[in-house]
């Protein structure tokens, strides 16, 4: 969503989505959507253009990995006899 918010104008959004491989028809629909950021980012055109693999390759942090690294603790079992 951060990247989508950076692309302020529909013209920029259209150009960037087409550059990332989205067909022009779907890129036009997503770029000119009057819906909010959250809804538009979860459309198929944007999800395919800005996949997690692409974001990680660009240097963004994978949130799922960060969460697992922080919250995964080794389980210590205590036996009470």
Domain that holds residue 21: 2-71
SS3 content of the chain, % helix, strand, coil (to 5): 60, 0, 40
Number of domains observed in the structure of the chain = 1
Q: Report residue 75's pLDDT band, with 50, 70 and 90 as the boundaries.
A: low
Ranges 38-42, 48-52, 56-60, 73-77: which has the least confidence:
73-77
Q: Residues 2, 38: contact at Cβ < 8 Å? A: no
Residue 17's pLDDT is 93
To the nearest 10 degrees (0 to 180), the angle between helices 24-31 and 10-19 is: 150
Per the domain annotation, does 78 fall within a domain? no
The CA distance from 27 to 19, in Å, is: 10
The CA distance from 69 to 50, in Å, is: 23
Residue 13's pLDDT is 93
Q: Would you say residue 76 has pLDDT above 80?
A: no
Per the domain annotation, does 21 fall within a domain? yes
Per the domain annotation, does 80 fall within a domain? no
Structure tokens at 35: 């819906």
Specify the higher pLDDT residue, 77 or 8: 8
Per the domain annotation, does 38 fall within a domain? yes
Residue 25's pLDDT is 93
């Amino acid at each position: 969503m951060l990247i989508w918010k950076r692309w302020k104008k529909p013209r920029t959004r259209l150009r960037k989505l087409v550059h990332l491989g989205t067909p022009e028809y779907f890129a036009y629909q997503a770029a000119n959507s009057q819906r909010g950021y959250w809804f538009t980012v979860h459309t198929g055109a944007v999800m395919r253009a800005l996949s997690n693999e692409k974001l990680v390759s660009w240097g963004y942090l994978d949130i799922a990995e960060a969460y697992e690294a922080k919250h995964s603790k080794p389980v210590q079992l205590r036996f009470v006899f």
